[in-house]
Chain A
Amino acid sequence: MFAPQLLGFVSPSINWWALLPQMILLGAALLILLLSSLAPRRSSTTFATVTTLSAAITAYFVSIGLWYDVEREGASSSIASAFGVDGFSIFFTMLILIALAITALLSHHYLDREGIDPPEFHALLLCSAAGAIVMAAANDLVVMFLGLEALSIAIYVMIAMHSRRSEARESAVKYFVLGAFSSAFLLYGIALTYGATGSTNLVHVREYLDAVVFRDQHMLMAAMGLLLVGLSFKVAAAPFHFWAPDVYQGAPSPVTGWMASIAKAAGFAALLRIFFAAFASHDSDWSPVVAVLAFVTLVVGAVMAILQTDVKRMLAFSSISHAGYVLVAVQSASNDGTAAALFYLFTYTLMVLGTFAVVGAMGSDDDHPLTRYAGLGRSKPLIALSLTALLLAQAGVPTTSGFIAKFQVISAAVSNQSYFLAGAAMVTAVIGAFMYLRIIMTMYVVDDDESGPSPVWHWTTSTVVLGTVIFTMVLGLVPQFLIEFAEQAVPILIRG
């Protein structure tokens, strides 16, 4: 049973250059842990923030270099085809690094204010970012699973680090139980894929499925179903969304932003790579199921958001409905649809991080009632204006990046002849807009009768909010460069 080929073991060729971004992140995480354990007292927040930021920026420059490499030499894969080096993986690497830098900035003030140990938080943040990159770049289902777990386990702890608040603990346990549950589903799907195709490597899976016509494809169907359920939990698609509002509400705001943006983006990266790239020859089997998921998610996200009174819960349902739009793009199973999904995820990540930057600064209390935002238009006009811009972008109002993103998704659905889904997406966009308008109205129209705790602004928070607002607005006017970027980032499965 022990493989005899091991006798002539040749280590697989490894493209170290392509692995550099996540190695930088992990190196920074180890450095932070090492120095914080050497430091005699509680180490400073600034050190951890600066380390994380510089790691993110260095890794970003490396991935720019990688992007041009791929453009020049074409996509490839490394470590026995387990790790993809294509536009898709570098697109997500860049997105994750941007979100990492933003979250590091946001957490800077937050950690000080809430008394959370900064080195540990930043080390976990770096680990989860590296996990997300591995997940987006993995060409092998097992490697993808490892990336997913690195991402999720770090997030469980990041939520629970706010250990004085019982809400944070409850949120962490809920996320943990549902996360473990969904990981098990995903893993079972991987096992059945392995059984049906003889490999966990997506390149092999694709070649096998292209070449072989199944007489009996029950096992493959079960595998696809389990993979889809597992990933739907991760991206919070209805009917597997029920954990999201509770977890988003209880988690510390920077972590909520990180979960809503990167955990979701990495989940969609995995979804696209598995279904669009590897199961391409069976798209008539999975596309209708994803379409149903997309429809349910759109409706649940838009309708349930109206019933909420807590801002973080509202934003949780808003993130569910965003997942619905991305699923609309995924179900079209075309290059256009995938490019639309990538564009959507990029713009959405920045909008949601900006929004949670404001939410995080608005207070650390256990709940975020809508009334706390009353009168913000008068007391903090600039912040209110920024939040308005970000919320309008999330609603998909023209001249913002959110509009372009929704437009791309709907046109991909139309060109795939999913007219019903395109119509549903437009209708739910209108219903969903009500929720965003409600927050905006509260800021400008409702008077602040009780002077609540005034938000404390740190320059890092303001920088993030300003940056995301400018990005959102500029992209709404000149979206072309990101559209082209996304079009070149469609996943490619290639033997390395």
Chain B
Amino acid sequence: MSELLRSYLTVGIFGVAAIAMAGAMLTIARILRPQRPTRQKLIAYESGVDPVGGDWAQSQIRYYVFAVLFVLFDVEAVFIFPWATRLEVYGLFGLVEMAIFIFILVLGLFYAWRKGVLRWV
């Protein structure tokens, strides 16, 4: 058996042990506990509040604009991190470049704000 597979063997044993342990606990509990189900006991637990409606809830469509804006601005951060880790190396040139980059992003956010996209209607 190669070195690589041996190192995965540890992970495998750990996984099997974890599943066996959880399974054993649930099985023992099932054997030991009394079972007298009523309707009240079977409904879904929602922090003590009675559940309302089905289990398929639709998100509001207005939420998607925020999601989309978040994805865009979040992904742009990928360019900021490498620069931030090597700040001194890039010096003034890097600082100016990043300032322009962020300025353009801020302009985009400003545009979205002025167009009323950020307002929760």
Contacts and interface: CB of A to CB of B under 8 A. Distances in A.
A38 B90 CA distance: 34
A6 B89 contact: yes
Contacts of B110: 34, 37
* 4 interchain residue pairs of minimum CB distance: A37-B114, A37-B111, A9-B89, A11-B93
B30 interface: no
Interface residues of B, number: 14
Contacts of A38: 114
16 contacts: A6-B86, A6-B89, A7-B89, A9-B86, A9-B91, A11-B90, A11-B93, A11-B94, A33-B108, A34-B107, A34-B110, A34-B111, A37-B110, A37-B113, A37-B114, A38-B114
B107 A30 contact: yes
A190 B110 CA distance: 35
Contacts of B107: 30, 33-34
Interface of B: 86, 89-91, 93-94, 104, 107-108, 110-111, 113-115
Interface in A394-426: none
Contacts of B86: 6, 9
Nearest to A26: B104
Given A7-B89, A11-B90, 15 more contacts: A6-B89, A9-B86, A9-B89, A9-B90, A11-B93, A11-B94, A30-B104, A33-B107, A33-B108, A33-B111, A34-B107, A36-B111, A37-B110, A37-B113, A37-B115
Contacts of A34: 107, 110-111
A11 B89 CA distance: 10
Contacts of A6: 86, 89
A33 B110 CA distance: 9
A30 B103 CA distance: 10
Contacts of A9: 86, 89-91
Interface residues of A, number: 10
B86 to A, nearest CB: 6
Interface in A27-60: 30, 33-34, 36-38
Contacts of B114: 37-38
Nearest to A39: B114
Contacts of A30: 104, 107
Main DSSP-derived SS at the A contact region = helix
Nearest to B104: A30
Nearest to A7: B89
Of B89, B108, B111, most A-chain CB atoms within 10 Å = B111
Contacts of A7: 89
Contacts of B93: 11
A330 to B, nearest CB: 35
Interface string A1-18: 000001101010000000
A37 B113 CA distance: 9
In the complex, which of the residues A7, A34, A37 has the most CB atoms of chain B within 10 Å of its own CB atom? A37
A4 to B, nearest CB: 11
Contacts of B115: 37
A9 B86 CA distance: 10
A169 B111 CA distance: 24
A38 B113 CA distance: 11
B118 to A, nearest CB: 12
A434 B110 CA distance: 53
Contacts of A11: 90, 93-94
A7 B89 CA distance: 6
Contacts of B90: 9, 11
B108 to A, nearest CB: 8
Contacts of A37: 110-111, 113-115
A432 to B, nearest CB: 43
Interface string A365-408: 00000000000000000000000000000000000000000000
Nearest to A14: B93
A37 B109 CA distance: 11
A221 to B, nearest CB: 32
A109 B107 CA distance: 28
A34 B115 CA distance: 11
A34 B93 CA distance: 25
